[in-house]
Amino acid sequence: MSAAERRPFPGAGAEAAPNPQVITHPSSGLIVHLTHADGAVWATVSGEIDHANAETFGRALTGNVLRACDRLEVDLSRVDFFDCTGLNALLKAGAVADRTGATLRLSDVSPAVRRVLDLTGTGPLLGLAGMAGTDAAPSDRPPQPRTPVGHRRARVHAA
């Protein structure tokens, strides 16, 4: 489907933002860098994604971005904290992409994001590289330990 044939999604504003664009949520430290080129948008996200800023994150992905692109690549490798509100924003962005004829794909994720995707089984829905059920190439990153940052595993001593 060409960009001319694509239907605008509800709430879409004017033309896409110029290249590059930075969207922030100062009180939470969320930063979304958007780069537009050749019908694609690359979103590099850093900071925390939670209930305080998930709406800002979602709007950064869906605002005027998907209206002007065929593909949205999202890099979440610098996200320190990710909860179900962030996942909901991603799933909504994926639904908007489907409705507009675009593709949303997670190109890389942090251990915090991967844990939520693994627990919910939603990685394949978002085209995450290396997740079962996706055609994307596996990530070059080594597997990360599953112990949350700041937590220690309990030591068991034999009696």
Residue 143 CA, chain-centre distance (Å), reads: 19
pLDDT at residue 127 in the model:
85
Q: pLDDT-based confidence at 39, cuts 50/70/90?
A: confident
Taking all residues of the chain, what is their mean pLDDT, rounded to a whole number?
75
Q: Is beta strand 30-37 parallel, antiparallel or unpaired with respect to 40-49?
A: antiparallel
Rounded mean pLDDT, 52-65: 88
Cα–Cα distance, 34 to 31 (Å, whole number): 10
End-to-end CA distance of the chain: 67
- Give all domains of the chain, ordered by start, each with its CATH number: 21-126 (3.30.750.24)
The model's pLDDT over 90-142, given as tens digits with 9 standing for 90+, comes to: 999 999 988 888 899 999 999 999 999 999 999 998 988 665 444 444 444 33
Query: 25: which strand partners?
Result: 30
Q: In the 8-state DSSP scheme, what is residue 125? A: G
Residue (of 94, 101, 102) closest to 41 by Cα position: 102
Cα–Cα distance, 114 to 111 (Å, whole number): 5
